[in-house]
């Protein structure tokens, strides 16, 4: 099994962390992983993305042309990456943020109400964990338990009091699929 995914959205939405958590979770399951972020000015407010590959076998290129799964948290990301999804691939997007949803007929499309759940949880910053929950529910790339383990690694210790709300967000996200 190889999952070639890209997480894309505005800088500050936790895009890079989503990919990193997935990569950590893959490593916890002894899989091969590669996380390749966009870096530079886009990290400071523009469109950011992180290619994340999880595989049972050796990963060749961190640069890929087409994706199994695209996770898009803003309109420019849907517009840019929809055409780069492999046939029968998947797009997961935050329905609350996207005015022009994807239209391709040969892919699986999940518009999830991530921002609404985040508002319900009174913490818009957990949007990325909600969407990651939806991603795992749809793709089953790694086990949820591995994601919870990974969270502890990615979140600095001084933020560990936020682990429960992040895990709750992840579970809510899974329920959206």
Partner 1 sequence: MGEIRLMKGNEALAEALIRVGCDGYFGYPITPQSEVIEYLSKEATNRTGMVVLQAESEVSSINMLYGAAGTGRRVVTTSSSPGISLMQEGISYIAGAELPCLVVNVMRGGPGLGTIQPSQSDYFQATKGGGHGDYHLIVLTPYNVQEMVDFVKLGFELSEKYRVPAMVLADGAMGQMMEKVELFDQIPRRTEFPEWATTGKPHDKERRIVTSLFIEPEVMEQVNLRLQAKYRQIEAEETRFQTMNLEDAEYVFTGFGLGSRIAMKAMELAREKGYKVGLIRPQTVYPFPYAIYRETAPKIKGILDIEMNSGQMVEDVRLAVGDKTRVEFYGRMGGMIADPESVLKHFEKVYLGVE
Site residues (vs partner 1, CB under 8 A): 20, 23-24, 27, 32-37, 39-40, 59-66, 153
Q: Pick the closer one to partner 1 by CB: 61 or 152.
A: 61
State the minimum distance, in angstroms, from the CB of residue 147 to partner 1. 14
State the minimum distance, in angstroms, from the CB of residue 124 to partner 1. 26
**How far apart, in Å, are the Cα atoms of 9 and each of 32, 72, 117?**
25, 6, 18
Q: Pick the closer one to partner 1 by CB: 35 or 93.
A: 35
How open is the CA angle 114-63-112, to the nearest 5 degrees? 10
Q: Are 4 and 68 in contact (CB under 8 A)?
A: yes
Torsion of CA 42, 100, 63, 34, to 10 degrees: 80
| HSE toward the beta carbon, residue 130, CA cutoff 13 A | 27
State the minimum distance, in angstroms, from the CB of residue 33 to partner 1. 6
State the minimum distance, in angstroms, from the CB of residue 9 to partner 1. 18
Q: Pick the closer one to partner 1 by CB: 61 or 120.
A: 61
Q: Pick the closer one to partner 1 by CB: 34 or 130.
A: 34
Q: Are 114 and 131 in contact (CB under 8 A)?
A: yes
Going by C-alpha positions, the residue among 58, 59, 80, 85 that lies closest to residue 70 is 85
């Amino acid at each position: 099994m190889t999952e070639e995914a890209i997480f894309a959205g505005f800088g500050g939405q936790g895009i890079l962390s989503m990919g990193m958590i997935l990569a950590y979770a893959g490593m916890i399951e002894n899989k091969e992983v590669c996380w390749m972020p966009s870096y530079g000015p886009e990290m400071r407010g523009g469109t950011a993305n992180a290619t994340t590959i999880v595989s049972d076998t050796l990963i060749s290129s961190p640069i890929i042309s087409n994706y199994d799964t695209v996770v898009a948290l803003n309109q420019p990301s849907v517009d840019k990456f929809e055409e780069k999804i492999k046939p029968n691939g998947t797009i997961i997007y935050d329905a609350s943020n996207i005015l022009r949803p994807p239209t391709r007929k040969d892919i699986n499309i999940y518009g999830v109400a991530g921002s609404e759940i985040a508002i319900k949880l009174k913490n818009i910053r957990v949007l990325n964990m909600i969407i990651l929950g939806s991603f795992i529910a749809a793709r089953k790339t790694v086990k949820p338990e591995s994601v919870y383990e990974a969270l502890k690694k990615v979140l600095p210790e001084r933020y560990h009091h936020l682990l429960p709300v992040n895990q709750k967000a992840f579970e809510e996200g899974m329920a959206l699929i």
